[in-house]
């Protein structure tokens, strides 16, 4: 009797050791394929089964007939077929492991217990492997977005031009890795300068892609010397012709052409929030003369010409600077204009610093909820 108890105890220890070794082998990898193969191999080799496979994964081990893989048999102890469910932490079914015994033999209590415990360990390992794969996928996406962010930043003006008699500055911040705001300034033949501030509908990567396409078209047309109103109309046609998805990402834009020799500024507003020309206490609001670029086919636009007096301040911006809230109170364009009107400096960069500080002080938020972009032009002589 004592000998039988000793043998039984030794068998239990051997079973626990086998299960412990199996658990260690399964959890020694975080690659999903390796986990699945290890579980099936342990099931067959440790218990000398005929074969084993999963119902939800294309993995099998041992002597498995192809028809079983296409049409998994139901659990039938008389035919030596046994199913073991693998459940996730919430109790949902991940897959089933089907084990086939040799010569349709029944499972012993030890084999049954071993396979049930193995299925439990396998379910944990599969969840961990899947989490690891999702983490790697997320890291790859983050790396791609970081690269896209650097590329998008490189497409913005890296430095402001020196225009005699003028101070100019620009700034752009995205609320995500990449954004839909765009600004640019280009020299034109004859000494003039072309400027644009634009905002693609929406945020994130899709808007950034549309913004890059808009940039290419804008730069090509600006270099061709088209009149400002005609350029806006052609950009509208190009955007509209790109298809339904692009039309959904229409672009609000405000274009400006500065002639510093004559101190004139020509502006076209294509569905964008108003630009502001401030001189002393006087404020001229430059509203839209047409719909956003790409919203309505065949749209035409009207340009407006202004004379820039000394100390005039011209501001273009996207709505991320004005649609900022403190509770239900909006910062709004009125506060923005007042910041520009009350400022007495002569450096455009300092003016933008003042504007940004006012907006950030108003909402008190660290994280942006929308892209913020602005371009300031001052006549200082």
pLDDT tens over the chain, length 381 residues: 554 555 445 555 555 565 666 666 676 777 888 888 888 988 888 889 999 999 989 889 998 877 777 778 888 888 899 999 999 989 999 999 999 999 999 998 888 988 998 899 889 988 888 888 888 888 887 787 777 778 778 778 888 999 999 999 999 988 877 788 999 999 999 899 999 999 998 777 888 888 888 999 999 999 888 999 999 999 999 988 887 777 788 999 999 999 999 999 999 999 999 999 999 889 999 999 999 999 999 999 999 999 999 999 999 999 999 999 888 899 999 999 999 999 888 999 999 999 999 999 998 766 777 889 999 999 998
Domain containing residue 335: CATH number:
3.60.40.10
Mapped onto helix, strand or coil, the DSSP state of residue 312 is coil
Q: Tell me whether residue 12 is in a domain.
A: no
Residue at which a domain ends, from 87, 116, 145: 145
Determine contact, residues 91/98, Cβ cutoff 8 Å: no
Query: Are 181 and 320 within one domain?
Result: yes
Task: Based on the fold, state whether residues 161 and 141 are members of the same structural domain.
Answer: no
Closest residue by Cα to residue 275 from 171, 179, 374, 358: 374
Domain-embedded: residue 313? yes
Q: What are the φ/ψ torsions at residue 97 (nearest 5 degrees)?
A: -100, 125
Same-domain pairing of 186 and 60: no
Instruction: Please give the structure tokens belonging to residue 159.
Output: 């430095």
- 31 and 139 in a single domain? The answer is yes
Residue 285 and residue 313 in one domain: yes
Q: Which domain-ending residue is among 84, 112, 145?
A: 145
Whether 357 and 251 map to the same domain: the answer is yes
Query: Which residue segment(s) compose the domain that 122 sits in?
Result: 17-145
The pTM of this model reads 0.71
Residues 160 and 129 in one domain: no
pLDDT given at position 186:
95
Whether 98 and 167 map to the same domain: the answer is no
Cβ-based burial of 332 (10 A; exposed 0-12, middle 13-18, buried ≥19): middle
Please say which residue of 145, 167, 185 terminates a domain. Answer: 145
Query: Do 243 and 267 share a domain, yes or no?
Result: yes
- Whole-number pLDDT of residue 261: 96
- Together in a domain, 259 and 141: no
Give me the number of domains the chain comprises: 2
9 located within any domain: no
**137, 162: one domain:** no
**Is position 4 within any domain?**
no
Are residues 47 and 89 both part of a single domain?
Answer: yes
Contact 253, 261 (CB under 8 A): no
């Amino acid at each position: 009797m004592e000998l039988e108890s000793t043998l039984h105890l030794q068998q239990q220890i051997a079973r626990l050791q086998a299960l412990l070794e199996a658990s260690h082998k399964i959890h020694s990898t975080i690659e999903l394929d390796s986990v699945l193969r290890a579980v099936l191999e342990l099931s067959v080799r440790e218990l000398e089964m005929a074969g084993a496979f999963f119902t939800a994964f294309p993995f099998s081990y041992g002597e498995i007939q192809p028809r079983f893989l296409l049409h998994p048999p139901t659990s039938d102890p008389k035919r030596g077929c046994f199913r073991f469910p693998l459940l996730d932490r919430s109790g949902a079914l991940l897959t089933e492991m089907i084990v086939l015994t040799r010569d349709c033999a029944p499972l012993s209590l030890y084999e049954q217990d071993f396979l049930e415990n193995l299925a439990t360990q396998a379910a944990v390992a599969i969840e961990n492997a899947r989490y690891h794969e999702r983490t790697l996928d997320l890291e790859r996406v983050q790396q791609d977005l970081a690269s896209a962010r650097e590329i998008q930043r490189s497409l913005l003006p890296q430095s402001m031009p020196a225009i005699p008699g003028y101070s100019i500055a620009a700034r752009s911040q995205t609320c995500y890795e990449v954004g839909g705001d765009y600004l640019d300034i280009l020299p034109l033949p004859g000494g003039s300068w072309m400027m644009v501030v634009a905002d693609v509908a929406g945020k994130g990567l899709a808007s950034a892609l549309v913004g890059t396409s808009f940039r290419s078209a804008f730069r090509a047309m600006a270099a061709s010397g088209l009149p400002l109103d005609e350029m806006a109309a052609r950009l509208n046609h190009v955007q509209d012709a790109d298809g339904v998805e692009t039309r959904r990402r229409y672009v609000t834009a405000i274009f400006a052409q500065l002639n510093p020799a004559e101190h004139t500024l020509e502006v076209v507003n294509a569905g964008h929030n108003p630009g502001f020309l401030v001189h002393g206490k006087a404020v001229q609001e430059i509203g839209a003369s047409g719909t956003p670029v790409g919203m309505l086919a065949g749209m035409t636009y009207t340009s407006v010409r202004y004379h820039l007096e000394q100390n005039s301040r011209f501001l273009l911006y996207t709505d991320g600077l004005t649609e900022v809230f403190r509770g239900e109170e909006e910062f709004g364009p009125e506060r923005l204009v007042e910041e520009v009107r009350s400022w007495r400096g002569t450096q455009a960069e300092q003016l933008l610093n003042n504007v940004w500080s006012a907006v950030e002080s108003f909402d008190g938020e660290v994280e942006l909820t929308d892209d913020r972009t602005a371009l300031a032009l001052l006549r200082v002589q």
